[in-house]
Chains A and B, each alone.
Chain A
Amino acid sequence: MSLEFIIAAIVTVVGLTTPILLAGLGELVVEKSGVLNLGVEGMMLVGAISGFGVTVMTFNPWIGVLGAAAGGAAASMLFAVLVLQLNSNQVATGLALTIFGTGLSSLLGLSFTGRIVAPFLSVFPDALAKDPIWRVIFGYSPIVYFALVMVPLTAWFLKSTRAGLILRAVGENDLSAHSIGYSVIKVRYAAIAFGGAMAGIGGCYFSMVITPMWAEKMTAGRGWIALALVVFAGWRTGRLLAGAYFFGILMALELYAKASGFSFLPSQFWAAMPYAMTVVALSFISSRGTAGANAPACLGKPFLPST
């Protein structure tokens, strides 16, 4: 195995990992606030098309990323109003958001089909970004670095800031948080918006970096992997990062099997691996009984104060 090959493999894995890492981080914060948003896939698709569309119109990928965040957040607000204001069932509403996001992104994408933008690649000089060795550090889209910075930032926010403490408290015991005087609804709105924005940015990685064009359903189920990732990680940011890379490696194996034709197993086997591993990991975690201890106690329950 040559060094070039290893570097190529790392670059591939990092690229595949970034969208699920971003969406997973967002969903982690949402779930920590006690809300289960199953609409990650839908929000990623809305992010993918809004990021792409804004880039086409402004010729500025930075504004495009902001557009993706705004698109994902806007989609998530639809969910937020339904579950927070009208106390609709979070699971059903999240599934509806995915279906809605899939449809909406296809509709918005009609006028952008066939258009191409310049991929949003590394901003470092080519000498570094294209160097066969150094590209392992400098050869990525700014979105990749953003995702990596967001991991410790999210961990720090949840663990060490007062706002993070309140957010966890709301997810742990919404009625107590309410009785102390915190606004459960406001905290959850903010968390859901953050989750939407992160999913949106994760989605635009597909349409602006991996394949700089729009295709329907281009996120290909990664939103679901991001959801599984949060449970897989036991609601911890560090483990989320590790889990994202683990899934990234499995997805890279699929690509490798497809591209090289080398395989003692069909590529579909590798494509199924992340999902199979999720099931295995979840059974393992729940059999040890540790998943329950760290799961937010109010996850998925509507907030119904008596007063």
Chain B
Amino acid sequence: MPDPAPAAVARLELTGITKRFPGVLANDHVGFSVRPGEIHALLGENGAGKSTLVKMIYGIMQPDEGEIRWNGRRLTVANPKAARKLGIGMVFQHFSLFEAMTVLENIALGMDAKIPARDLESRILAVMGQYGLKLEPHRIVSTLSVGERQRIEIVRALLLNPQLLIMDEPTSVLTPQEVDQLFVVLRKLAAEGCSILYISHKLHEIKALCDTATILRGGKLVDTCDPKVETSRSMAEKMIGGSLKDIQRGAGRGFGPEKLRVTRLSMAADGPFGTALKDISFTVRASEIFGIAGVAGNGQNALLLALSGEEPNHDPGSVTVNAVEVGQMQARDRRAQGVASVPEERNGHAAVPVFSLADNAILTARDRLGMVRAGLIDPRAARTYAGEVIEAFSVKATGPGAMAESLSGGNLQKYIMGREILQKPQVLVVSQPTWGVDAGAAASIHQALVDLAATGSAIVVISQDLDELLSLCDTLAVINGGRLSRPMKVSEAKIDEIGLLMGGIHGETAAAEIEKVAHAAQA
């Protein structure tokens, strides 16, 4: 580890940092400081300016105004290479990994100094041993879990002996156990004097991990506070600049008759990196919200396609809606039976980016809402409906004629959710309903789902965000390796058990493999 700077001098000090983009003030005179060994949270909604700020610290962008002091010395960080040379490491939210290459090659690419492959491998093993990060250097990245991929990024950053490690939304895709492991590593690093800048919007994690929290809203610094003293609610309200709304549920809600039944549903994997579905069975009743948890890449996409009808099944009885066998039906026929769906990818799957909102409405609502007459589109009906969705879900858009791609992620998501919900489907299947959506929009989407369930629809929510599922769903099952666990009542579910199911047996065998490799390396 590098020499710790005198405790009186801040590791990193920002003063008056300002960054303008055309039409947006991304950072408006932001200033805070990080002490050596401090775990400092940077908190804020999407678009609050967190990413822009750390990009300037890491040298990806330059501030328009303001100064950066590093260990007391004023400087400009010209590029990421210069940042790494100073001792600043960064783990990105979207991993900058190369799928077709090995772990070792990926790490070598992140190193500025030229290190022979064998030396690098022994240094990697040393760092992994020191922090308990398990990885097999010669595995191809595309075969790794998300948690393992993140470990590559962390090892890559740690090999540089950083004095400051920036973590951008590190836990958004991890299982609870993986989050715990990550926190152990981060605390150990901090104890050794490395400062950590931890970007997140998960308040309970910040309370558990961080010493200080800087809250940004709309590019401005709102507050710097001690998360151990604050409550999650108080920080959330500072973050969104208003009071937080809880999900409102009608009292005395009971479930109606069975709406959706999935029986021994199996699907072959599509493509070399796809996941096959194996023998999936569950039922969802009227007014029930059924959650499917799991780490990305365990068959969630395949399941959504199988339920929506984008990938029809050979077995007609594998999916039934209101006792009608729809397994062999295409998406359009299933929609006629009352099945609506919202896939994970907004741009290009749920919506056509270069179509107007009205045209996008036609794509899924044409039959149910009579937007096509005698084979001709009724543009007025489409515009009216798009207008209703915009109104009902307070979508920020110039109107029904706005291009889907012109909307922000959260607004487009609200629009797409609204487009399906206002069709009053019998069964609604949604994947990642609030992925990359700010807290305000997420709350309104959650409320809309609860309201739809109250009218007697059956809802399936596929999500990687366990907190979301626990607050939203009545029943929960975990998908792992294309298999679905036994459903459990959310009120009786235990986080530990869910976490183990999410890790599945795959995690254990992977660990055993690593043990074997480590032994082989020693021999």
Contact = CB atoms under 8 A, between A and B. Distances in A.
Interface stretch (B90-98, B398-406, B442-450): B90-98
A182 B79 CA distance: 11
B519 interface: no
A293 B100 contact: yes
A125 interface: no
Contacts of B105: 165, 169
Given A173-B99, A297-B100, A292 B272 contact: yes
Contact of A293 (B60, B81, B101, B272): B272
A290 B271 CA distance: 10
Nearest to A305: B60
Contacts of A150: none
Interface in B257-271: 271
Interface in B78-109: 79-81, 92, 95-101, 105, 108-109
Interface in A148-199: 162, 165-166, 168-169, 172-173, 175-177, 179-182
Given A179-B60, A181-B79, A168 B101 contact: yes
A166 B55 CA distance: 23
B96 A172 contact: no
B96 A175 contact: yes
Contacts of B516: none
Contacts of B95: 176
A181 B272 contact: no
B272 A289 contact: yes
Given A292-B271, A307-B61, A181 B96 contact: no
Contacts of A180: 80, 96, 109-110
Q: How large is the interface on A (under 10, 10 to 19, 20 to 34, 35 or more residues)?
A: 20 to 34
Interface residues of B, number: 22
Nearest to B140: A293
B114 interface: yes
A179 B92 contact: yes
B92 A177 contact: no
A172 B142 CA distance: 12
Contacts of B97: 173, 176
A185 to B, nearest CB: 15
Given A172-B101, A307-B60, A289 B96 contact: no
Interface in B290-338: none
A171 B271 CA distance: 20
Contacts of B112: 181
Interface in A20-42: none
Contact of B271 (A173, A175, A181, A289): A289
B108 A162 contact: yes
A290 B273 CA distance: 11
A45 B98 CA distance: 36
Given A292-B271, A297-B99, A297-B100, A169 B92 contact: no
Interface in A130-163: 162
A294 B99 CA distance: 10
Task: Describe B's contact surface by its main secondary structure.
Answer: loop
Contacts of B92: 179
Contacts of A169: 98, 101, 105, 109
B104 to A, nearest CB: 10
Contacts of A172: 98-101
B310 to A, nearest CB: 20
A196 B272 CA distance: 33
A162 B96 contact: no
B449 to A, nearest CB: 32
A104 B105 CA distance: 42
Interface in B92-134: 92, 95-101, 105, 108-110, 112, 114
Nearest to A179: B96
Given A165-B109, A289-B272, A181 B80 contact: yes
Contacts of A182: 109
B275 to A, nearest CB: 15
Interface in A205-230: none
Contacts of B61: 307
A77 B279 CA distance: 55
A165 B100 CA distance: 12
Contacts of B272: 289-290, 292-293
Contacts of A177: 96, 98, 109
A294 B80 contact: no
Contacts of B98: 168-169, 172-173, 176-177
Given A162-B114, A169-B109, A293-B272, A181 B81 contact: yes
B100 A294 contact: yes
Contacts of A297: 99-100
Interface string A265-292: 0000000000000000000000001101
A293 B142 CA distance: 10
A166 to B, nearest CB: 7
Nearest to B58: A179
B96 A173 contact: yes
Contacts of A173: 96-99
A133 to B, nearest CB: 44
Contacts of A168: 98, 101
A289 B101 CA distance: 18
17 contacts: A162-B108, A165-B105, A168-B101, A169-B109, A173-B97, A176-B95, A177-B109, A179-B60, A180-B96, A181-B81, A289-B272, A292-B271, A293-B100, A293-B272, A297-B99, A297-B100, A307-B55
Interface of A: 162, 165-166, 168-169, 172-173, 175-177, 179-182, 289-290, 292-294, 297, 307
Given A175-B96, A181-B81, A289-B272, 18 more contacts: A165-B101, A168-B101, A172-B99, A172-B100, A173-B97, A176-B97, A177-B109, A179-B60, A179-B80, A179-B92, A179-B96, A180-B96, A181-B79, A181-B80, A182-B109, A293-B100, A307-B60, A307-B61
